[in-house]
Amino acid sequence: MDAKDRKSSVREYVSSILVAVGLALLIRTAVVQAFYIPSGSMEDTLLVGDYLLANKFVYGAPIDVPGTNVSLFRFPALRDPAPGDIVIFKSPQDANRDLIKRCVATGGQTVEIVNKTLYVDGQPFVDPPLSKYIDRRTLPAAAYSRDNFGPYTVPNGHFFMMGDNRDNSSDSRAWGSVPKELIKGKAMSIYWSWAPDTAGPYYSGLGSLPRVLGNWVTRLPGRVRYERLGDIIR
């Protein structure tokens, strides 16, 4: 192989890598993206340690300036979030944080909570099968909006989000409805899940590394929630 052929091969190799990277970025930006569940606000539908894939195409994926939260434009949406959808969106309080909640009402609908019972347009909202209430107390609206709220009419182009763990979720009851421009995607399926390691040992410097790695390897099989892998999120 002469020098000319070698240069041609290198160009083809580099071009192939660039095309592959470009396709990966396009898929991540506009089609599907992975997310991690760090808190218990969606229990028992989603658990801490679940890793899920989200469909970004269905709601019209936002295209942001790389490394920022500034959106350049959105792809056309197939549809808007609907009541019952589990949605990933930017936090209305902190654009650097992604949140995941269930949409319970859309623009024009009226939300009211009376003694923990959620009503949408005057009708009881059917709680998801794995939603839960962990606090037997019912707090008055004057104390906290968790158990008694509204009535509140969702503005057009906005969505009212709530966690399935109703008593342990900061959501639209606290910070209001979510505008469409903050919507990122619809939760699809769980591709990995493991229980958090609460027993230690934990990393405390290079000297602790062998014990931490040994613990991680030996406990990994027992921490994986095999029954959740591949679950479709509803």
Q: Which residues are catalytic?
A: 41, 101
CB neighbour list of residue 18: distance below 8 Å, 6 or more residues apart: none
Q: From the CA atom positions of the chain, what is the Rg in Å?
A: 22
Alpha-carbon torsion, ordered 141, 145, 149, 155, to 10 deg: 140
User: DSSP strand E in 28-75: where?
Assistant: 32-36, 50-55, 62-64, 71-74
- Could you give the residue ranges of the DSSP H alpha helices within 50-180? 172-175
3-state secondary structure of 143: coil
Smallest CA-to-CA distance from 55 within 178, 183, 165 is with 183
- Cβ atoms within 10 Å of 186's Cβ, excluding its own: 21
Alpha-carbon torsion, ordered 176, 182, 187, 188, to 10 deg: 150
